[in-house]
Amino acid sequence: MLDLFDTIAPADPPFEPLAEGAALLRGAALAFETEVLTALDEITLQAPFRHMVTPGGFTMSVAMTNCGEAGWVTDRTGYRYDPNDPNDPETGRPWPAMPSCFLDLAVHCASRAGYPAFRPDACLINRYEPGARLSLHQDRDERDFAKPIVSISLGLPAIFQFGGLKRDDPVKKFAMRHGDVAVWGGASRLCYHGVTALKEGVHDVLGRMRVNLTFRGAL
């Protein structure tokens, strides 16, 4: 039986609509790869990955960190960006500044998807190891839903799920490989989305993991 990853070939269109206001940009991050991975190492030295706890008390299988003017956090008190206390709660220091190569990548991809005015102020960085997953959810903690989400996939391939505005709406599945980018905004800004459990594997550059950069206008 064919795996979903086997259905994606180099001849696939570089721009693939996901829904109204949403698109998949195949390989759009590859031109930025070297600078982005170097900057990522510097960020995680300052603000290491950690497994956050949900308000319900569950430890997330995905490890997270942030860069930019604010960081997304979750604990027993809730999900949030806190402009009044924008520091990393584990270190007490400000989250690392967003590198210029991160900003350039996000702006480039947003523009290609139809959002030329997008300038992110936060980047949530997720690290998936085999077995880690992200259940269907909406990105609702940002203050301005007029701004899109730009999601960069690096490392091991993953299955990205994209649904509708209600949790029980039909869900489409898309194979995401190293360098692929998903952008959603406008009518799709509050669509449910997630990532199925990451399969075992070893990527040539990142090894046994997938890293996802999600750029947002949070504040």
With contact defined as beta carbons under 8 Å apart, do 124 and 98 qualify?
no
The answer to which of 10-24, 90-104, 162-176 has the lowest mean pLDDT is 10-24
Higher pLDDT, 4 or 178: 178
According to the model, what pLDDT value does residue 86 have?
Answer: 82
pTM: 0.93
Q: What is the pLDDT of residues 145-168, one digit of tens each?
A: 999 999 999 999 999 999 999 999
Q: What is the pLDDT of residues 195-212, one digit of tens each?
A: 999 999 999 999 999 999
Could you tell me whether strands 122-128 and 63-68 are parallel, antiparallel, or unpaired per DSSP bridges? Answer: antiparallel
According to the model, what pLDDT value does residue 82 have?
Answer: 82
According to the model, what pLDDT value does residue 4 have?
Answer: 55
With contact defined as beta carbons under 8 Å apart, do 67 and 125 qualify?
yes
Q: What is the pLDDT of residues 179-195, one digit of tens each?
A: 999 999 999 999 999 99
Query: Is the pLDDT score of 9 beyond 50?
Result: no
According to the model, what pLDDT value does residue 12 have?
Answer: 60
Q: How far apart are CA 143 and CA 30, in angstroms?
A: 30
Domains of the chain plus CATH, in order, are 14-216 (2.60.120.590)
Q: How far apart are CA 1 and CA 25, in angstroms?
A: 26
With contact defined as beta carbons under 8 Å apart, do 28 and 108 qualify?
yes
